Amino acid sequence: MYHHPSPPSLNILTQCVVGYDQGVMSNLLTTENFGAKFPRIYTNQDIKGWIVSVLQLGAWFGALCNGPIAQKFSRRYSMMIAVVLFCFGSSLQAGAQNENYIFAGRFFAGMAIGALSHVVPMYQSEIAPPEIRGSLVSLQQFAITIGIFVAFW
């Protein structure tokens, strides 16, 4: 028998990923080891800004494209696709040999974050009891903050 995952836990996990990714990159951009490997990013404020911003651009694109995907393949499979996409983007960032890998990884991770930010609240509203639907919206921002906290800890 299939049981739906708990809507609050699903929300917390997906939004913690968003916060964690933001927190890790903000810490990483200031470390000397990162500066030794990627001196152009470390010293150029414009490039640093683009490294941070490309995640948001990917999130916009991912949220935009996810509607038809979720409609055609289902909310669950859309979330699974986004998780695979996030793993791919994270792998590109973790194994980056030059700044192009970081930009691509940030964009792919952003696409996944945008897709998850789009589909998870929709999926929750379909499976959550009416009594807790409103509180799940505020839980989303709290989970992002928890992810950032964990990244800085």
Are 79 and 117 in contact, with CB atoms under 8 Å apart? no
Which stretches of the chain score pLDDT less than 70?
A: 1-8, 10-11, 137
CA separation for the pair 42, 60 (Å, rounded) = 26
3-class secondary-structure state, position 146? helix
Q: How far is the C-alpha of 89 from the C-alpha of 77, rounded, in Å?
A: 18
Write the pLDDT tens digit of every residue in 35-59. Answer: 999 999 999 999 999 998 999 999 9
**pLDDT at residue 103, rounded to an integer:** 95
Phi-psi region of 27 (alpha: psi -120 to 50; beta: other; left: phi over 0): alpha
List domains and CATH numbers for the chain.
7-152 (1.20.1250.20)
